[in-house]
Amino acid sequence: MLRSGVAGMNCVRSCGARFAALALALVVSVAPSSLVTAQGSNAPVPADPSATNRVVASLTCQEVSHTILTWGVSVQNQTAPFAKEPSLAAGKIQRGRLDFRPRREPALGFIWDPPQAKLYLDINGNDDLTDDTNGVFTCRTKSSDERYQLFTDIRLAAQTNPAASPLLLDLNFRQYSSLYVSASLRSFYAGKTTLADRDWQVGIIEKPYSDPNSLRDASLLFRSWDSRTQAFGADDGRLQAFPLPKTLCFGGHSYRVTATWESATEAKGVRLEFAEEPVPLGGLKINGDYIRRALLMDASRTVVLDAPTGTVPVPVGSYTSYQVHLQQSESSASLKDSFSHRGVTSTITVQSNKPGTLVAGGPLTNTVTLRRRGNLLVMEHRVVGAGGEAYQLDGGANYEHPPTFAVFSGEKRLATGKFEFG
């Protein structure tokens, strides 16, 4: 069995793996000094520990064209017709209810009519699917395969939270052995603020499947104001957004972060407060190249390091995990980890008189491991960083041009082939 990868041993030679070439480009194309800006090795603690600087940002709902977050929606199938229904095609009709927040608010009634490429939603919840003028949607991409249809620009209000603006969603319906529905979020709350003499775009991404009255499961968008037009994902490998921390640290500053719904105002939105607090600082040595952004995390605190090199100021403490995103020219790479486990679990201790060390980033190395499974030779490929952490190149795999390999004995080529993705 051959799995996605390229050869990195003397018996296996790469013959054209696109992603491997890009990974190697991260190592050799551009000098690290052209990619990053050195930061100071130490920053003073404020002279008056009791002084607190509070900055408040009022965030309003923003809608974007890209997907911010995708999750599976619980489906309750239904065979009985609703009280009132529109004119439907004969045969392949799906009825049911969608649980966006299971057991937290009433499920949303729906009828999916694949032959007519229509989706009807019971927005007002009265079991009448003929009176929802804002609940009828048409699949824009026509296909002979009616088992898969995408419905876009759906706005749903959180019934239990009047302070929240309607969510902008796309819904994917797939019918194979059973009906599967996934939702893609395309709205969030954002605004501009100034912290440590820099302008930032800050935002809150509400997780639609979490408690609608609390933002404790939300993600925080935190990036330079100049980057505000770039697409991003909640908690994705590019690290422009990450789980909302209780304390946010960067550039030698530390802020307590509080996010609350602004239910008392006419404009629905989120109030995001940053309260600066003095903290003792130590140093963190960066051993690795091409780091665009790194995050150090513990149970309540996230430290953001943008383009760090050398020794950078970090609050004293022990951090239990880290994440990194790499960038060199047009190539970028993210840590390769699962949806449920973000980052690398590794304790990094920073003391006031003893710097900690982060070993991560480039140079990247292509490695291949070989193991036998019965009569098969299984070859596994990994792109490995300076600390042994695995990366994947951003942009996804090129399925039209999979990596190729060749096996040699000395100068004699014994076999060639292509890797399977998996």
Q: What is the DSSP string of 99-118?
A: ESSTTTSPPEEEEEEGGGTE
pLDDT for residue 214: 80
pLDDT for residue 266: 63
From residue 153, how far is each of 63, 75, 150, 184 by CA, in Å? 10, 20, 10, 10
Q: Which residues contact 395 (CB under 8 A, 6 or more apart)?
A: none
pLDDT for residue 421: 65
From residue 281, how far is each of 41, 124, 251, 334, 344 by CA, in Å? 10, 54, 10, 28, 23
Q: Return d(Cα 98, Cα 107) in angstroms, integer.
A: 5
pLDDT for residue 292: 96
pTM: 0.81
Rounded to the nearest 5 percent, the helix, strand and coil shares of the chain are 5, 50, 45
pLDDT for residue 37: 28
pLDDT for residue 260: 93
Taking alpha carbons only, the member of 326, 316, 291, 321 closest to residue 305 is 291
pLDDT for residue 52: 58
Tens of pLDDT along the chain (422 residues) come to 333 333 333 333 333 333 333 343 333 333 333 232 233 334 444 444 444 589 999 999 999 999 999 999 999 999 999 999 999 988 789 999 999 876 566 889 999 999 999 999 999 999 999 999 899 999 988 777 889 999 999 999 876 777 888 999 999 999 988 999 999 999 999 999 999 999 999 999 998 888 777 888 899 999 999 999 999 999 888 999 999 999 999 999 999 999 999 876 566 899 999 999 999 999 999 999 999 999 999 999 999 999 999 999 999 999 999 999 999 988 899 988 654 446 788 999 999 999 999 999 999 998 888 888 898 888 788 889 999 999 988 876 566 777 777 888 899 998 888 767 65
Residues in the chain: 422
